[in-house]
């Protein structure tokens, strides 16, 4: 019987019976000093996300235990994939507990970003998604930006209580927690090592003071995230590594932009104007005539229009289109996980295409 073991990566109960189930560790690996489940092992060594049949429910059930406790919730989102990384059922899962919303990866946003507008937009968007939050913070977990203000707020809001960090996979939760720990204790890379034991809640428990702890909860897999539809190599190309340089295209109506082979933007109707593209600097953008676009895509996706490449093409669901009319004001068309295109002037009609299952959203521009 191995029930008393917990994964050092995600905190789930370890089992050795069912390889395709959560928490699996082969018997031969049970005696290791650091036991991590197959999913975390693969995540750590190969950066693979979906190898076992964790249902979204398994995660949500674990997180819903927070409802019966008293604590402060830190909800991390990826500023580059706000909707994709938002856990919409969170309010139901966390009950009456207060929530601080933290937007991570602020280091990637262009300098011209209006931070206040961005925060206001995040507040508004959370409200629309049914979540009541106390405050919003912008941070970079890798660069350490915004951490002091956030740490001070955590101390303020928690009033001696526990802290739960929640977020979907890839938002930077591990990086964030490791940074919190290293600034307060000097221990580096704490949660990928075995300093902190899993608890009965199934969460990684990091002591804050004599009475309270900070809990790392399992990363929720959100199926609307682009990461689930591409290879690791492609993911590297679409993920911005440093501050995004906006790329501006002057388009006439009936012109199309392709973002690699992952997204397509058709300017159908409106005055000639500029469109500002915010994507990883390495991600190629192609311009073409609308009338040639479908044919071009069919012939060149996987080579000229890449990523995906020829080998990873089959992972990508077919593109689905949506026609949008924008009446006025600067508007961002957001391609989850990739970036966005800012429409600088209304009244125009566009058709946007993204992989089925990764829905495009529209917001007021914060730049």
Q: Which of 58, 107, 162, 266 binds ligand GDP (CB under 6 A)?
A: 107
Positions in 210-269 near ligand GDP (CB under 6 A): 219
Q: Which of 158, 173, 264, 353 binds ligand GDP (CB under 6 A)?
A: 173
91 lies in the binding site for ligand GDP (CB under 6 A): no
141 lies in the binding site for ligand GDP (CB under 6 A): yes
The whole-angstrom separation of Cα 192 and Cα 200 is 19
The reply to whether omega before 141 is within 30° of 0 (cis) is: no
Q: Which of 13, 65, 120, 142 binds ligand GDP (CB under 6 A)?
A: 142
Nearer to ligand GDP, 133 or 165 (CB): 165
- Kindly provide the b/e burial profile for residues 103-132, where b requires at least 16 CB atoms within 10 angstroms of the residue's own CB: bbbbbbbeeebeeeebbebbeebbeeeebe
Q: Can you give the C-alpha Rg of the chain in angstroms?
A: 22
Segment interacting with ligand GDP (CB under 6 A) among 6-14, 55-63, 99-107, 203-211: 99-107
* Backbone φ, ψ for residue 171 (5° rounding): -80, -10
The whole-angstrom separation of Cα 39 and Cα 23 is 7
Pairing of strands 162-166, 71-78: parallel
Q: Which of 169, 213, 306, 312 binds ligand GDP (CB under 6 A)?
A: 169
Nearer to ligand GDP, 172 or 307 (CB): 172
List residues bridging with 138 in a β-sheet: 103
331 lies in the binding site for ligand GDP (CB under 6 A): no
Nearer to ligand GDP, 107 or 205 (CB): 107
Positions in 51-90 near ligand GDP (CB under 6 A): none
Q: Which of 50, 64, 89, 175 binds ligand GDP (CB under 6 A)?
A: 175
Q: Which residues contact 276 (CB under 8 A, 6 or more apart)?
A: 246, 247, 248, 249, 341, 342, 344, 367
Q: Which of 140, 256, 342, 365 binds ligand GDP (CB under 6 A)?
A: 140
DSSP character for 210?
S
Burial of 162 (0-12, 13-18, 19+ CB in 10 A): buried
Q: Which of 83, 94, 126, 174 binds ligand GDP (CB under 6 A)?
A: 174
* Interface residues toward ligand GDP, by CB under 6 A: 104-105, 107-108, 140-142, 167, 169-175, 219
């Amino acid at each position: 019987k191995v029930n008393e073991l917990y994964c050092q990566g995600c905190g789930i109960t370890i089992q050795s019976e069912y390889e395709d189930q959560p928490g699996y560790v082969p018997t031969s690996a049970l005696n290791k000093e650091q036991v991590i489940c197959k999913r975390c092992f693969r995540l750590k060594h190969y950066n693979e996300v979906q190898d076992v049949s964790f249902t979204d429910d398994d995660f949500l059930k674990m997180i819903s235990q927070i409802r019966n406790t008293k604590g402060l919730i830190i909800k991390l989102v990826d500023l580059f994939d706000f909707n994709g990384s938002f856990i919409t059922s969170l309010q139901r899962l966390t009950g009456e507990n207060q929530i601080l919303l933290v937007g991570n990866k602020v280091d990637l946003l262009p300098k011209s970003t209006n931070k206040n507008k961005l925060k206001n937009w995040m507040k508004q968007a959370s409200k629309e998604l049914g979540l009541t939050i106390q405050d919003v913070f912008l941070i970079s977990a890798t660069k350490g930006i915004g951490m002091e203000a956030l740490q001070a707020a955590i101390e303020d809001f928690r009033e001696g209580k526990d802290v739960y960090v929640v977020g979907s996979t890839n938002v930077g939760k591990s990086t964030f927690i490791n940074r919190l720990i290293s600034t307060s204790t000097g221990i580096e890379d704490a949660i990928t090592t075995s300093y902190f034991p899993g608890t009965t809640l199934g969460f990684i428990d990091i002591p804050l003071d004599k009475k309270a702890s900070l809990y790392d909860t399992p990363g929720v897999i959100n199926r609307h995230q682009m990461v689930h539809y591409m290879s690791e190599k492609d993911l590297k190309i679409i993920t911005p590594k440093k501050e995004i340089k906006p790329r501006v295209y002057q388009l006439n109506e009936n012109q199309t932009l392709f973002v690699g082979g992952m997204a397509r933007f058709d300017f159908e109707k409106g005055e000639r104007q500029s469109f500002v593209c915010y994507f990883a600097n390495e991600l190629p953008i192609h311009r073409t005539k609308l009338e040639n676009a479908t044919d071009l895509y069919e012939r060149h996706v996987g080579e000229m229009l890449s990523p995906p490449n020829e080998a990873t093409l089959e992972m990508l669901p077919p593109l689905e289109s949506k026609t949008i009319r924008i009446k006025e004001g600067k508007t961002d068309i957001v391609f989850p996980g990739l970036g966005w295109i800012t429409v600088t002037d209304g009244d125009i009609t566009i058709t946007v295409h993204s992989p089925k299952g990764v829905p495009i959203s529209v917001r007021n521009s914060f730049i």
